[in-house]
Amino acid sequence: MSEQDLRDVTGLKRHKLQVVWFQRHFGVTPVQRADGRIIMSWSAFEALQAKRAGVLPATAGQAAERPALQPLRRAA
């Protein structure tokens, strides 16, 4: 993401406030450069959004856990 993209997403110009925004909204501290600018790809940001929304796809090595099914009525 470019600096302009980060400004558009967070609505903030200062790097420190952008970090606080990511901590508040996603519970993560983004990676920063030595000068404080955030390093984040669009795919990482989209994954954070998907995780927050609860719609992450299951990975190949990890099967999605299914809830236990209870019958509504007994079969005859």
What CA dihedral angle connects 35, 27, 40 and 46, to 10 degrees?
Answer: -160
Tell me the pLDDT of the chain averaged across its residues.
86
Quote the pTM value: 0.69
Q: What is the pLDDT of residue 68?
A: 81
Whether 64 has a pLDDT exceeding 60, the answer reads yes
CA separation for the pair 12, 18 (Å, rounded)? 6
pLDDT, average across residues 2-12: 95
Residue 39: beta bridge partners? 31
